[in-house]
Amino acid sequence: MSNNRPFIISSIIVVLLLVALYAQELYLEKKQHRFVVDPTVTEDVLLQEALSYATLYKVTLVDSYLCGSEDITYREVYAPSLEVLQLGLKREYNDNYQVQKIEENEIRLTNEHANIHPDMLGNILFGINARNQLVIYHQDETPNHPMNEFFPIEVDWIPEEQIAQLEKGIVIHDLEDYHSVLSTFNEYIIEYPFSQP
């Protein structure tokens, strides 16, 4: 057994050295792997590099409805140029929005809907204001604080029953109601020869 002692000790040392080398290799590989693959470091560097070539634009999206209400959304977008920003917005919104105003770092886009805002159905009324204009107003307001003004009407030509309806307010439940009221009172428009008062 004493003859084998140096061989056993040297074998143990060799095995320990191999284990240590293997552990060191695993550590280095793990360290390298984490450095190369770590997405937060890479993405942050790439994002900072991209933003250094881009400009921050303020984008205003306006959705306008027939009743006069609007939904307004504000966004901030990085883009390398105004032209690239416009192309990106055009692609994102499928030409629904039209450019209304462009300033240095701001752009305003409008989408005019040919219907009534869903939140307004049943909450808006047609009426007549103090200047004898056909108006649409919210039920919590009066005809003198309208959401939208349409046209002046000749009240002397309108049957009393319809005047009473306008004074009370004609509730709009859907797009058909909206068009029906407009077409009914369209025949009572006051035509001014040159300009409106």
Nearest in space to 116 (alpha carbons), one of 72, 184, 48, 179 = 179
Question: Which pLDDT belongs to residue 93?
Answer: 79
For the domain covering 124-186, report its CATH number. Answer: 3.30.70
Q: Kindly report which listed range (6-10, 61-65, 114-118) carries the lowest average pLDDT score.
A: 6-10
Check: pTM over 0.85? Answer yes or no. Answer: no
pLDDT digits (tens, 9 = 90+) for 108-133: 989 988 888 888 888 899 999 998 88
Q: Domain-by-domain residue ranges, the chain? A: 5-37, 53-112, 124-186
**Is the pLDDT assigned to residue 39 strictly greater than 50?**
no
CATH number 3.30.565.10 is the correct assignment for the domain at 53-112: no
Token couple for 140? 């919590």
Confidence of residue 35 (pLDDT cuts 50, 70, 90): very low
Would you call 135 exposed, middle or buried from its count of C-beta atoms within 10 A (0-12, 13-18, 19+)?
buried
* DSSP helix/strand/coil, 35: helix
Q: Do domains 53-112 and 124-186 have the same CATH topology?
A: no
Confidence of residue 38 (pLDDT cuts 50, 70, 90): very low
Would you call 37 exposed, middle or buried from its count of C-beta atoms within 10 A (0-12, 13-18, 19+)?
exposed
Question: Which pLDDT belongs to residue 193?
Answer: 53
Helices (H) and strands (E) in the chain, counts: 5, 8
Which letter does DSSP use for residue 157 in this model?
G
